[in-house]
Every structure is written in structure tokens, then in C-alpha cells.
Amino acid sequence: PQHVLDIASLSSEEINSFLELGEALKEVLKRPIPKVPTLRGRLVVLLFYEPSTRTRFSFDRAAKALSADTLTFSAKGSSIEKGESLLDTVKNLKAIGAELIVIRHPMEGAPHFIAKHINIPVVNAGDGTHEHPTQALLDLLTVKERLGDFSGIKVAILGDIKHSRVAKSDILAFQKMGAKVYVSGPAYLLPTPLEEEYFRIYPGGFKVCYDPKEAIRDADVVIALRVQKERHGKPLIPSFIEYQTFFGLTFKELELIKKGALLMHPGPINWGVELSPEVEQYPFQVILDQVENGVAIRMAILLKLLTDGKTYEVTH
């Protein structure tokens, strides 16, 4: 693909090629000097209109591991504060030398909008409540590494589905790879019946469960989501106390999942809300593996988009 804007527009073959390249690039990150010259002299701009720790720094690390230069742009302190538009901002960044833009923006569709108007690759690092495709790719890589295959596995996604761009991308990505996805959480935060139709890629591939036990039972993968209080408005529905009581994951809920099933969370975590602190000790908790895989998968994305899919030269 020319851009990575959402999982909805990626084929399973394209997803698989990112996973395979990401797996191969993990070897580079294990070298004594974890750096290759492949993208030397290329400029990647990280344009973040919303806070980020994992996505921003792993893209930065990924670009530098490939020897690309990076410029990190935060809305605060830039001419956005003087009223400069998104499109003018990216045109100016391109004039400065940007060859690829990674963008996180609170408005759904912002990455798609700039991709239409600027002829350099654009990567969506999270657009409002729409999608977070690079998170879904790193989640897939983490599951592939541990379970080997996606076909027929049951993935349970729990929590604030309504406001989660990670959930939207994961729901599509896991189904595209052959898994079935069950979601649960407070009814107010679940997809409506119409949305349920949109998210179902194949018959039986997607189900909304009002009882979290139905989603969790016999799952191979459980993904807990952060309650995104900044997107709820006031008052918080449900309150953190209610959420923890009815939907928080403890060891008791994990007794329902398959033996060896993975526990994941995209971060940042509200410990004591969606995850009880004790579950950090669950032996198949892979939350930091997800973060580690984020570097490799983002290296794969930068390489593919900046070398036109032709050059995967990763030797010194």
C-alpha cells in the first residue's frame, strides 16, 4: 500500500506481509548495534495532535533503527496555536523535507484527508475513535509469535469499545486473519446492532456480548481496553468504581479463559479499573511484548512505505 490509514482498507495479504517483515526485523533489534543503514538520509515526521508515549517513541525508535532522521511535532508550541490549518502544516513540513508523515489526530479521518492532498506516504497513528491500525498490526504480531496461527481462535475485547480506536482496528484485523472476535463491556460502550453488522466481516466472525463471561469463556486471547474518560464528557459513564466492580479483570475472570490464553492491553492502563493489579503476575500476560513488537512492526511499515516495497536491505 501507499499509506497505512486503516485496517479496513488492508487485505489479509498486505497485513501478513507487514507481520512477516516485522518478524524478520526483530533480529536487527537484537544485534549488538541495533541499527541498519537502509533509510539513511530519509526524513520521517511524527505529527502528534494528541498525547502518546508508546506510539510516538516506538515510531521514533523504529525510524532511527533504520537510520532515518525524525522530526517530532507536537501541536503545543507550534504555529497551530496561531491558527495554522492541518493541511498548511503538512505542506510546510513537506517543504522542510518530510518524506513520510505519521499522524495522530483527535478528528476521525484526519490522516485520510491529508493523504488525499499530499503526495507522500501517511501513517495513521490513531484518529479520534476511528482506527489505530499500527496497534492492531503489533497486536497481531504478538499473538502470532505466541500462538502461531489465527485461524479459529477466539479473541475477547473488553471495555470501552465505543471510544476505542484500538478495538475498531483489532476487530477488523483479527477477523481478516481468520480469528473470531467477541466484545463486551458496559452496554452504553458497546457497538449498536447496525455497527455490529458493519464490524462482522464473515458470518460468526463478530459478536457483541452483554455478559462479559460469554466473551471471555474459552477465549484464546483477552484484550482489555482503557476506559477513555477524556472522550466520555461528564459525568463518566460508568464510574470507575462501577466499571471495576462489573467489568474489571481479576484472576477470577481469567479462570474462564483457555489454559495458556494471552492477556493483552494496548496501554496506558488504568490499574485497578480495567485490570486488577494482581493480573500483572498472570504468566501469559504479554503487555510489554506488545510494546516491544511495536518497534519492529513500525520498522516494517516505514521500510515498506519508503522503499516502495522493493528494498528490504537490512544488513550492515
Sites of contact with ligand CP (CB under 6 A):
52-56, 126, 135, 266-268
Residue 302: strand, helix, or coil? helix
Residue whose CB is less far from ligand CP, 99 or 131: 131
Q: Minimum CB separation from ligand CP for residue 125, in Å?
A: 7
| 268 marked as part of a ligand binding site | yes
| 204 marked as part of a ligand binding site | no
Residue whose CB is less far from ligand CP, 38 or 135: 135
* Measured distance CA(282)–CA(291) in Å, rounded: 17
Residue whose CB is less far from ligand CP, 25 or 102: 102
| 298 marked as part of a ligand binding site | no
* Measured distance CA(204)–CA(184) in Å, rounded: 16
| 63 within 8 A of 84, measured Cβ to Cβ | no
| 146 marked as part of a ligand binding site | no
Q: Minimum CB separation from ligand CP for residue 55, in Å?
A: 3
Q: Minimum CB separation from ligand CP for residue 288, in Å?
A: 12
| 135 marked as part of a ligand binding site | yes
Q: Minimum CB separation from ligand CP for residue 88, in Å?
A: 25
Strands (E), the chain: 43-48, 69-74, 100-105, 122-127, 154-158, 180-184, 206-209, 221-224, 262-264
Degrees, nearest 5: CA angle 27-264-181: 110
* Measured distance CA(87)–CA(249) in Å, rounded: 42
The number of beta carbons lying within 10 Å of the beta carbon of residue 61 is: 17
Residue whose CB is less far from ligand CP, 126 or 248: 126
Binding residues for carbamoyl phosphate: 54-55, 104, 132, 135, 267-268
Binding residues: 54-55, 82, 104, 132, 135, 165, 226, 267-268
Binding residues for L-aspartate: 82, 165, 226
